[in-house]
Amino acid sequence: MSENKLPSGIDRIVGQRLRWRRRELKLTQEQLGEKLGLTFQQVQKYEKGVNRISAGRLFEMAAELTVPITYFYEGVEDLLQAEPLMVNESDHPPTLPVIDGEAMELVTSFQKIHDPALRRSLLDAIRAAAASSEKKAEH
């Protein structure tokens, strides 16, 4: 496979966002696949970032999941600053954090808050709690 055809960190973020939205709507991979004319295995490959999603397919997914296409690219800016885009066959793919059900619920709830000051305040509180928890774990 040529280097420009390999999935990138962006493909993984798009896949992760696809998984988040599918779960938010309480759809199985099979149900989403049926709506899009795909097998659940193909949905699974898209979600893992193993296969790239074409522009046309991403448009269909956004419409079916009732989100703007930009939804799938939220968080990409952070990746661009942190990691190279292309993955060579000898490189390890960029790793994304494992998101459990509670973390997913936190993210989806947080995204529904439109007040920037409240979002900032909540994020500061969560960061402080995480830092405190890390310090306790070190001792």
Same domain, 82 and 111: no
pLDDT tens digit sequence for 43-84: 999 999 889 999 999 999 999 999 999 888 887 776 666 655
**pLDDT confidence of residue 86:** 44
Q: Is the dihedral of CA 80, 54, 105, 74 positive or negative?
A: positive
Per-residue pLDDT, averaged over 2-17, amounts to 74
Query: For residues 7 and 87, is the Cβ–Cβ distance under 8 A?
Result: yes
pTM, to two decimals: 0.59
Q: Is 109 exposed, middle or buried (0-12, 13-18, 19+ CB in 10 A)?
A: exposed
One-letter amino acid for residue 112 of the chain: K
Same domain, 45 and 5: yes
Same domain, 88 and 124: no
Least confident residue range of 10-19, 65-74, 75-84, 91-100: 91-100
Supply the range of the domain harboring residue 41.
Answer: 1-93
> CA–CA separation, 18 vs 15, rounded Å?
5
Q: Cα angle at 112 between 124 and 21, to 5 degrees?
A: 110
pLDDT at 1 over 50: no
> CA–CA separation, 101 vs 78, rounded Å?
23
- CATH code of the domain in which 27 resides: 1.10.260.40
Per-residue pLDDT, averaged over 82-95, amounts to 47
pLDDT tens digit sequence for 30-47: 999 999 999 999 999 999
**CB-facing half-sphere around the CA of 73: CA atoms within 13 A:** 8
Length of the chain: 139
Same domain, 89 and 123: no
Q: Tally the domains of the chain.
A: 2
